[in-house]
Amino acid sequence: MKRIALLGMPNTGKSTLFNRITGASARVGNWPGVTVDLLAAKLLIAGQMAEIVDLPGIYDLHGYSDDEKLVRHFLETQPIDLLLIAVNAMQLERQLILAMQLASLGKASVIAVNMIDEARHAGLGIDTERLSAGLNLPVVAISAKYGQGQAELMAAVAAKLPQAALPSGKMAAEAASRLAEDDSFEVRSAELVAAAVDVPHLLPERFSDRLDRVLMHNVFGLPLFFIAMFFVFAGVFWLGAPIQDVLKNAFDWFGEALLKPLLAPLPELLRGFLIDGLYGGISTVAAFVPVVVLFFFFMAVVEDSGYLSRAAYLMDALMARLGLDGRSFVMLLMGFGCNVPALMGTRVMRSRALRLLSMLIIPFSLCSARLQVFIFIIAALFSPHAAPWVLMSLYLMSFATAFGTALIFGRGKAFRSEEPFVIELPPYRFPTLRQVWMRGWLEVRHFLLRATKIIVAGVVLVWLLTHLPVGVEAASADSYAGYLGRWMQPILSPLGIDEKLTIALIFGFVAKEVVIGALAVIYGLEGSALTEHIAGSLSLIQAYSFMLFCLIYTPCLSTIATLKAESRSLKFAALAVAWPLALAWCASFVFYQVALRLTGQ
């Protein structure tokens, strides 16, 4: 099988091109020594099977960023038959230098001049034949977004592929010695572009510039950013909540009407395990998937439209002081909807250190699942007058723990980014429906494929804890969960968290929205009876301490699964679970003890 590597600078529409060529068939491949996800897809080209790999965007083949090292490592260690190099038609002079660096490796190469639609719109005339002659490589003008030139590009690839028997060129020895060579590429590129590209005398003022005057304004920019984020959230929940309800009802119906009769002949314990444990647990997580999907769609819009870089610009002054960058803040905010898409969204940050630090702080975002728990408890215990302030204080706590964590860990070597914050600001683009759909769909599929195992394992574990030993009442004091709750009392009672609440916290490990359902099971009460019971049995201080703990401690199973999959490091995932747990204990302990003393109890 032949292998094609897709390369190019960031913002060349490389991923759009990859999706365009491969359809939705891409899978995350496993490559030795590679710590980021690389998408790969198999494709039939002129009767030959070929695997095409989407490598991360790089600015410079001889650079020092994590991605540049990764691409170099990949090109050095993997057999590759053809390089497909994407360049942005609007920035040929700069981008051809990378193309020349890549072509000098001696492999068969094809250059795709992408975003030809934008170039034509701006009045740029690009003579691909002249470029092709100058570079001695096939050059095809395409628009990955709209599909123009795709057939020609694939024909050029097909024509080049059989010649790919050339011995693989050895990579550059020392990056430093390459600067001189790059300078010669620079001169050649400038000459070539002068000859082959017809630039209009006066470029029309771009739509982007006019929009940026408002959206990047020093005064209006930030408020507009927060309004935009508000609409993202409103949109997700307005669209997501009804879907979630329908799905939940469908799962319930399926369980009641089909699964129960079907599994009736099984022994009771096994039946309970399958229906209440496995099916119930997984359908709870599954009902949340539509919201996750919507978040991915909205995130694709925010990112592909070019707004993410603007938001990064607006927030960078604050975030730089925390050892993060503006993009981390956008993802942190996304985390207030759901931590999972926010964690996956950190992929736009290309420095591993920066990405890990961002992933460490995102689980502190008060996600919508936690919000459900808080609203229930606050409504049960606090007066309508105090309620908004209580909720507000939890949001502030969420930010405080996230920023505090960044300040503490940002000094550590593993989390200190060495990469300069110099990023390109792409012009605004309207993402096509197809682009958004593909992005959302691919991300959700990856999430489901990778998270399922951990989610199933966690659901099973919690069911076993609450239903064993055989014969005990579910989640009662006699179950293993009850034992665990008692065993943890010396640790948790100083926080005002009793045995029963501890069992609820164990459930909350699966998904935070289960906590209320768990309380219903534990107390054996439903609806207003449960509300009254909680109001009667918990003091305000206890309730707030419980909410603090809920806010900060171990994120849900899906989040843990995502942390593990995205970081590809068990050590990091362990830290990301242990640190919030420790912090939650400290925060609740301090709050509970101080509040007790202050109120003289």
Binding site for other proteins (CB under 8 A): 9, 59-60, 62-65, 68, 90-91, 93-94, 97-98, 175-176, 179, 182, 186, 203, 212, 216, 218-219, 309, 312-314, 316-318, 320, 418-427
Residue 64 CB, nearest distance to other proteins (Å)?
4
Residue 130 CB, nearest distance to other proteins (Å)?
19
Residue 172 CB, nearest distance to other proteins (Å)?
13
Residue 91 CB, nearest distance to other proteins (Å)?
5
Compare residues 215 and 289 and give the one whose CB is closer to other proteins: 215
Residue 76 CB, nearest distance to other proteins (Å)?
18
Compare residues 214 and 234 and give the one whose CB is closer to other proteins: 214
Cα–Cα distance measured from residue 163 to residue 350, given in angstroms and rounded to the nearest whole number: 34
* Integer angstrom CA distances of residue 459 from 143, 273, 281, 462, 508: 46, 10, 6, 5, 11
Listed in sequence order, the DSSP H helices in 33-91 are 66-77
Cα–Cα distance measured from residue 85 to residue 142, given in angstroms and rounded to the nearest whole number: 12
Cα–Cα distance measured from residue 227 to residue 500, given in angstroms and rounded to the nearest whole number: 41
Cα–Cα distance measured from residue 85 to residue 157, given in angstroms and rounded to the nearest whole number: 11
Give the contacts of 6 (CB within 8 A, at least 6 positions apart): 14, 17, 18, 52, 53, 54, 55, 84, 86
Cα–Cα distance measured from residue 51 to residue 41, given in angstroms and rounded to the nearest whole number: 6
SS3 (DSSP) at 143: strand
Cα–Cα distance measured from residue 415 to residue 409, given in angstroms and rounded to the nearest whole number: 7
Compare residues 44 and 317 and give the one whose CB is closer to other proteins: 317
Cα–Cα distance measured from residue 293 to residue 168, given in angstroms and rounded to the nearest whole number: 42
Compare residues 38 and 89 and give the one whose CB is closer to other proteins: 89
CA nearest neighbour of 150 among 100, 116, 198: 116
Cα–Cα distance measured from residue 310 to residue 215, given in angstroms and rounded to the nearest whole number: 8
Compare residues 64 and 487 and give the one whose CB is closer to other proteins: 64
* Integer angstrom CA distances of residue 589 from 346, 382, 493, 548: 32, 21, 9, 10
Contact status, residue 504 vs residue 489, Cβ threshold 8 Å:
no
Residue 177 CB, nearest distance to other proteins (Å)?
12
3-state secondary structure 497-549: CCHHHHHHHHHHCCCCCHHHHHHHHHHCCCHHHHHHHHHHHCCHHHHHHHHHH
Cα–Cα distance measured from residue 508 to residue 531, given in angstroms and rounded to the nearest whole number: 18
Residue 65 CB, nearest distance to other proteins (Å)?
7
Compare residues 61 and 274 and give the one whose CB is closer to other proteins: 61
Residue 179 CB, nearest distance to other proteins (Å)?
8
Compare residues 111 and 538 and give the one whose CB is closer to other proteins: 111
For residue 469, say if its preceding peptide bond is cis, omega within 30 degrees of 0.
Answer: yes
Residue 183 CB, nearest distance to other proteins (Å)?
9
Compare residues 426 and 496 and give the one whose CB is closer to other proteins: 426
Compare residues 209 and 478 and give the one whose CB is closer to other proteins: 209
Beta strands 108-114 and 139-141, pairing class = parallel
SS3 (DSSP) at 36: coil
Compare residues 216 and 369 and give the one whose CB is closer to other proteins: 216
Residue 75 CB, nearest distance to other proteins (Å)?
17
- Dig out the tokens for 79 from the structure: 């057999």
Contact status, residue 583 vs residue 310, Cβ threshold 8 Å:
no
Residue 170 CB, nearest distance to other proteins (Å)?
21
Cα dihedral sign, 365-368-373-376: positive
Residue 219 CB, nearest distance to other proteins (Å)?
8
Compare residues 37 and 325 and give the one whose CB is closer to other proteins: 325
Compare residues 2 and 62 and give the one whose CB is closer to other proteins: 62
DSSP letters of 146-165?
Answer: TTBTHHHHHHHHHHHGGGTT
Amino acid at 590: V
Compare residues 317 and 570 and give the one whose CB is closer to other proteins: 317
Residue 317 CB, nearest distance to other proteins (Å)?
3
